[in-house]
Structure 1
Amino acid sequence: MTTPHRPELGDSRRDSSTRPSGRVNRRLNKALCWFRPAQRENGDRGAGFVEIGVVTVFAAAIITLVYQSEISSTFNNGVRQMVCLVGGPECGDETWVDHDRPEDPEEYEWGGGGDNNHADNQNIAMQSATAYGWTDQEWTCLDSMWSQMSGWDPSIVDPEYGTHGIVGFNPAVHGAMPDGFQNSASVQIDWGLSYIESTYGTPCQAWSYWQSTKSY
């Protein structure tokens, strides 16, 4: 049990409130008050929210002004220069997207089709197929196959399979392109009929093979 401090009785013990540790505690508490939120009554909570809103709007305005000022541009230029130093594209008008964009693909010499004489080309093939004895069902197979290959367009090129013209000539499979093949529907048809006869025998057999492989 401790004896209470009685200075009026000549007690020489110092009051704890006057000790150095007491003064330090008071100063520490005073400093911490700067970081503690103000204690408000229930009626003042609305005012607190208003103050927070005003501070938020003010901070947003400052950020916007900094972004629109030359400070932002200077910072971005500095970052770009540092990136360029470690192997990026040269610091000019070229952007990273422009620098990494692949080159344009090579275009086919024939273009994408557009021949409007499909019916005429179909009639030429029908007359030429008759000379081989390919009528009725055989002609139906031939018509179906070349219709799906090219739509009877002698200028078309299939970018997926690499086939050319009405008859689906493929340089990677069939070798060198015959003379006049590129500009003549008749030359294409004559080559196609001859190729079918020597390789498959009949259009229906060629058509059956093409349906499963998309080539012949």
Structure 2
Amino acid sequence: MRNHRSPLPRFLDRLRPAQRSDSDSGAAFTEIAAVTILVGMILLAVYQSQVSQTFNDAVREMVCLVEGPECGGETWTEVERPPEPEAYEWNAMNSNTADNQGIGMAIAHNYGWSDQEWNCLDDLWTSTSNWDHTLVDPDTGAVGIVGFLSAEHGDMPSGFAESARAQINWGIDYIDQTYGSPCGAWSQWQATRTY
């Protein structure tokens, strides 16, 4: 029976330097040069073929998915990327929300309003300012918890911009006189974004 040996070990044996004569080492050098040229020709053929272009396009697309529109090509990320958020976020959470809600609840209680009316007042002022008495709407200039403008709502009392209690007192009094209850003001706000 004949012993079949894989061609790879025989090839590797040829690449190993051995104790050979000068003519054998020249043949080994020629074989290495031929293999190197063959590998180079294969790489060149792959590079010039459509396979190479497809591979390069796939890599470029993956890079664009990470880098986004700045990568230079039109990619799906440019179409589906959400708009960049604005630098100023009106109604953002603030550290004094709970304190100001407590003041509001105590003052609203003095008006004899029901729990439903408190919920309407809370919804209204959470929507306008998230109960932040220091807030100024950059678009309209509306001030504080109540989100009022002096041009539309009359003159504000002294210290209005700095005092949560002043804003809440003034706002609840305005709501009581204008709408009779917070739920009336909340309904107006939901319909028009003003009250």
**TM-score, normalized by length of structure 1?**
0.46
Q: Which has the larger radius of gyration?
A: 1
Alignment of 1:23-34 (within 5 A): none
Q: Which residue of 2 aligns with 1:170?
A: 149
Tell me which amino acid in the other structure corresponds to 2:172: L
What's the counterpart of residue 128 of structure 2? 149
Q: Tell me the equivalent position of 2:185.
A: 206
Matched, 1:160 2:139: yes
| Structure 2: 5+ residue stretches without partners | 1-90
Q: 2:106 aligns with which of 127, 131, 146?
A: 127
- 1:72-111 Cα deviation digits (max 9, x unpaired): xxxxxxxxxxxxxxxxxxxxxxxxxxxxxxxxxxxxxxxx
Matches of 1:141 and 1:149 in 2, distance apart? 12
Q: Closer, same or farther in 2 for the Cα pair 1:157/1:133, shift >3 Å?
A: same
Tell me how far apart the structure 2 counterparts of residues 135 and 159 of structure 1 sit (CA, whole Å): 34
Quick one: distance in 2 between partners of 1:143 and 1:169?
16
> Residues 114 and 184 (structure 1 numbering): CA distance in 2 closer, same or farther, change over 3 Å?
farther
Structure 1 residues 115 and 180: alpha-carbon distance in aligned structure 2, compared to 1, 3 A threshold: farther
Residue 210 to residue 114, structure 1, CA distance change in 2 (3 Å): closer
Contact 2:120-2:182 within 8 A present in 1 as well = yes
In structure 1, distance between residues paired with 2:191 and 2:114: 23
Alpha carbons of structure 1 residues 182 and 113: separation in structure 2 relative to 1, 3 Å: farther
Q: State the shift of 1:123 in Å.
A: 0.6
SS at match of 1:133: coil
Equivalent of residue 197 in structure 1, options 150, 166, 176: 176
Q: What is the one-letter code of the residue matched to 1:146?
A: W
Cα deviation code 1:4-32 (max 9, x no counterpart): xxxxxxxxxxxxxxxxxxxxxxxxxxxxx
SS in 2 for 1:177: coil
Pairwise CA distance, 1:115 = 4.9
Letter in 1 for 2:152: V
Contact 2:93 2:130 in 1 (8 A): no
Mapping of 1:108-123 within 5 angstroms?
115-123=94-102
SS at 2:136's partner residue? Answer: coil
Percent of aligned pairs with the same residue?
55
How far did residue 163 of structure 1 move? Answer: 1.4
On the 8 A contact 1:114/1:155 being kept in 2, the answer is no
Quick check: 1:139 aligned with 2:87?
no
Moved more, 203-212 or 159-168: 159-168
CA deviations 1:114-171 (Å, max 9, x no partner) are 8511101001100110000123110000000000100010011112333110011111
Answer whether contact 1:162 1:170 (CA < 8 A) is retained. yes
Report the RMSD for the aligned CA atoms in angstroms: 2.0
CA distance in structure 2 between the aligned counterparts of 1:209 and 1:177, rounded to whole angstroms: 21
Which 5+ residue runs of structure 1 have no aligned equivalent?
1-111
- 8 Å Cα contact 1:113/1:157 also seen in 2: no
Task: Detail structure 1 runs of 4+ shifted over 6 Å in the superposition.
Answer: none
Whether contact under 8 Å (1:129, 1:139) holds in the other structure is yes
Q: Decide which structure has greater helix share.
A: 2
Q: Distance in 2 between matches of 1:206 and 1:139?
A: 12
1:132 aligns to what SS in structure 2?
A: coil
